[in-house]
Amino acid sequence: MAAPASELTRKDFVSSQDVRWCPGCGDYSILANVQRVMPEFVDKKEDVVFISGIGCSSRFPYYMNTYGFHTIHGRAPSFATGIKASNPDLSVWVVTGDGDGLSIGGNHLLHSIRRNMDMQILLFNNKIYGLTKGQYSPTSNPGTRSKSSPQGSIDYPLDPISFALGAGATFVARTIDVDATHMQQTLRRAHAHKGTAFVEILQNCPVFNDGVWEDVQDRKQRVENSISLVQGEPLVFGTPGNLRGIVMEGGDPKVIDLDDEDDPVSKGVVVHDEHLESTAYAFALATLTRPECPLPVGVFREQRKATYEQMLEQQIEDATSAQGAGDLHALLHSGDTWTV
């Protein structure tokens, strides 16, 4: 556990606004965990900005006692881009959902990830539109019956992890609303990353899509249905007596059974590596689907790359040393002039 960076406590990040999510909504625990880890990240809360779009998750900034901007549907990453570019010293957090971030705002999410600004993007995935009262979303399971799909949805769903990997994300992780310890660890990793950190948080919407993540939220089932990605550790899951591991066969991940005394590595079980040059491995992990395979949680990928704002500052510096500091009089008189 990182030592607290400041005198701040969780309470300092709690705003005076009444939280207005439905009882039992997964957003509550996400909010609590974010408020709990923030004191580790900053010593001045005025340096923190939370930016959101529209949707249930996007109410988040109102409940954080930091600077906050509740913007318009799908555009939060663009507002965040302007904020971070203007003042790179700020700690910038985007909060979005599956509808906000992947449907109406898909373009902005894609491009903000690709630019690699140093910010955190938390995408709460409940596989449904909540605030508009229950329509299927781009991540809904095929056949989801909702108000707008009474016969079941016929869209193929989008996987947020693959989306982020495809956009060239330098940090991609997944965590679960109910797993406080894992979420805090993941948030720490996301914050420590220099560049855009994309975190999918599996979130339950008890009102419109209850139980959609039950097999990984329920403590007992989770052991069987999810696999925790840990750098340098083999991909093993399950409980003693029923351990299994992931091997790669011709590039495709496959589950094999393990005996308790087996050395998983010698059995060919893959050792997790976040830092591989190629995205192929991370994509392969993202395609693991239940019930045959477990759902990975943790950090899929981390890469170091220069951030957009660093390069922007550098270009301004370069331009200034090449052209000299801007001189308005000289600019207006540049090129051909004549005096009457």
Partner 1 sequence: MTSKKVEKRREVSIRFCGDSGDGMQLTGTKFTDETALAGNDLSTFPDFPAEIRAPAGTMAGVSGYQIHFASEQVYTPSDSPDVLVAFNPAAARANIGDLRPGATLIINVDAFNKKAYQRAGYTEDPLPDLRERFHLVEIPLTTLNREALSGLDLNQRAIDRCKNFFALGLLSWLYGRPMKSTERWLESKFKGDVLEANLRTLRAGWAFGETTELFPVSFQVPAAKIESGTYRNITGNQALAWGIVAAGQLMDRQIFFGAYPITPASEVLHEVSRHRNFGVKTFQAEDEIAAVSSSIGASFAGNLAVTVSSGPGIVLKQEALGLAVMVELPLVVINVQRSGPSTGSPTKTEQGDLFLALYGRHSESPMPVLAPSSAGDCFTTVLEAFRIAVKYMTPVMVLSDSYLANSSEPWKIPDVDTLPRAPIQFATADDSGNEGFQPYERDPETLARPWAIPGEAELEHRIGGLTKEPVTGNVVYDPVSHAEMMRLRGEKVDRVSADVPPVEVDGADSGDLLVLGWGSTLGAITAAVDEARKAGQMVSRAHIRHMNPLPSNLDEILGRFKHVLLPELNTGQLSMILRSRFLIDIQSLTKLAGQPFLVSEIRDAIDSILNNS
3 state DSSP class of 120: strand
Contacts of the segment 313-319: beta carbons below 8 A, 24+ positions apart: 313/88
String of b and e for 33-67 (b: at least 16 CB within 10 Å)? bbbbbbbbbbeebeebbbbbbbbbbbbbbbbbbbb
Cis before 291 (ω within 30): yes
Nearer to ligand SF4 among residue 42 and residue 76 (C-beta): 76
Query: Which stretch, 17-25, 161-169, 318-326, 328-336, contacts ligand SF4 (CB under 6 A)?
Result: 17-25
Rounded Cα distance between 62 and 73, Å, is: 16
Name the one range near ligand SF4 by CB under 6 A: 19-27, 227-235, 272-280, 292-300. 19-27
Cα–Cα distance for residue pair 132/200, rounded to 1 Å: 21
Question: How near is the Cβ of 310 to partner 1 at its closest, in Å?
Answer: 13
| Contact between 306 and ligand SF4 per CB under 6 A | no
Q: Is residue 312 close enough to count as binding partner 1 by CB under 8 A?
A: yes
Q: Of these partners, partner 1, ligand SF4, none, which one is at the site of residue 46 (CB under 5 to 8 Å by kind)?
A: partner 1
- Nearer to ligand SF4 (CB atom), residue 128 or residue 235: 128
Compute the Cα dihedral for 209, 213, 215, 217 and give only its sign: negative
Binding mask 15-54 vs partner 1 (x if CB under 8 A, - otherwise)? x-x--------------------------xxxxxx-x---
- Chain positions 204 to 223 lying near ligand SF4, rule: CB under 6 A, are 205-208
Q: Please pick, from the candidates 23, 259, 263, 325, the single residue that binds partner 1 as defined by CB under 8 A.
A: 325
Contact between 175 and partner 1 (CB under 8 A)? no
Query: Helices 76-86 and 106-115, interaxial angle, to 10°?
Result: 30
Binding mask 94-133 for partner 1 (x = CB under 8 A): -------------xx-xx----------------------
* CB-nearer residue toward ligand SF4: 8 or 131: 131
Q: Following DSSP, what letter does each residue of 239-284 receive, concatenated?
A: ETTEEEEEEEETTEEEEEEE-TT--TTTTTPPBP-TT-SSSHHHHH
Residues within the interface to ligand SF4 (CB under 6 A)? 21-22, 25, 27, 56, 126, 130, 205-208
